[in-house]
Amino acid sequence: MAEVFPWQQALWQQVAGRRQHAHAYLFHGPQGIGKRALAEGLMALLLCQKPHASQACGQCKSCLLLKAGSHPDNFVLEPEEADKPIKVDQVRDLVAFVVQTAQQGGRKVVLIEPVEAMNVNASNALLKSLEEPSGDTVLLLVSHQPSRLLPTIKSRCQQIACPQPTPAQSQEWLAEALPDIDQGERDELLSLAAGSPLMALSLQAQGVREQRALVTEGIKKLLKQQQSPTQLAEAWNAVPLLLLFDWFCDWSHLILRYQLTQDEDGLGLADMRKVLQYLAQKSRQSHVLEMQAWILEQRQKVMGKANLNRVLLLEALLAHWLQLPGAR
């Protein structure tokens, strides 16, 4: 079965030890804390023919089929491509699966992740199956952003808030996962991942620190008028759009925080502290608030998988940023 992480043990015992399960669970919490692993562990337990001590046996026919990815009573629904929505046709395939009879004579289990990737039409197509699943079917929904879900989706599930690891647990787990980097680098990764260790591991795999260095260096050149918004928008082509907007949203927040507190220790990672302090000192607070509101609005569009022109959007973002200093 999937790994149950140390910070999940108490919740796992609570959920896995139930004699009777809900027809639908919604596991929610920040990305990168192990919600998918928890759901997969429960999926394995629910499908296992010989569970023992609240664990799937891993040896029965059902467990072996699940491990091979060919269990006929298991359905996993996720975007066909990364950062793309779950389509209504995919949900219709799920609905057709739910009404079938279990081929192994036990439960059918559905896993959906991330649930917020479904648009309104896809969500509505799921409602009937979610309210009254056919036979002994359990639906496991995983959400990183439950606030984006339809109330009708949330109300039909038993909601389970997944625990976040403590800083010490995150450090210990990441040290085992990334033994070849030092603690300072792990601290930086965890900061970029908002403390989520699995997200930190994913960011390391995608080269986030190199991407971050490219972006911060570009911003410094932009403010010195050594590079234009157009040049930077093209140079950042390999950096995920949502990651860029996360950083700019965080930076605008830190500028405002410094304007209010003058606390240099609250300026975030060292790579942008001097830039943010300079912008905080040279910018009108109302102007920073306007820019932050614009960034948040565009970030919502990015999160909603809107069809955006990436280059034009980044040019607009950098134009806003460039106008900050001197706007007092």
Q: What is the pLDDT of residues 76-92, one digit of tens each?
A: 999 988 778 899 999 99
Q: What is the mean pLDDT of residues 60-68?
A: 95
Q: What is the mean pLDDT of residues 111-136?
A: 89
Q: What is the pTM of this model?
A: 0.84
Q: What is the mean pLDDT of residues 162-185?
A: 94
Q: Of the given ranges (1-15, 53-67, 84-98, 234-248), which has the lowest mean pLDDT? A: 1-15
Q: What is the per-residue pLDDT for 54?
A: 86
What is the C-alpha to C-alpha distance for residues 268 and 255, in angstroms, rounded to an integer?
Answer: 10
Among residues 307, 191, 67, 275, which one has the least CA distance to residue 183?
191
- Domains of the chain by start residue, with CATH: 6-161 (3.40.50.300), 226-322 (no CATH)
- How many alpha carbons lie under 13 Å from residue 227 in its C-beta half-sphere? 19
pLDDT above 60 for 50: yes
- How many alpha carbons lie under 13 Å from residue 202 in its C-beta half-sphere? 14
What is the C-alpha to C-alpha distance for residues 85 and 177, in angstroms, rounded to an integer?
Answer: 30
- List helix spans (H) across the chain: 9-16, 35-47, 61-68, 88-98, 120-131, 151-154, 167-177, 183-192, 197-205, 208-223, 229-235, 241-261, 273-282, 285-303, 310-322
pLDDT over 90 percentage in the chain = 83
Q: What is the per-residue pLDDT for 328?
A: 42
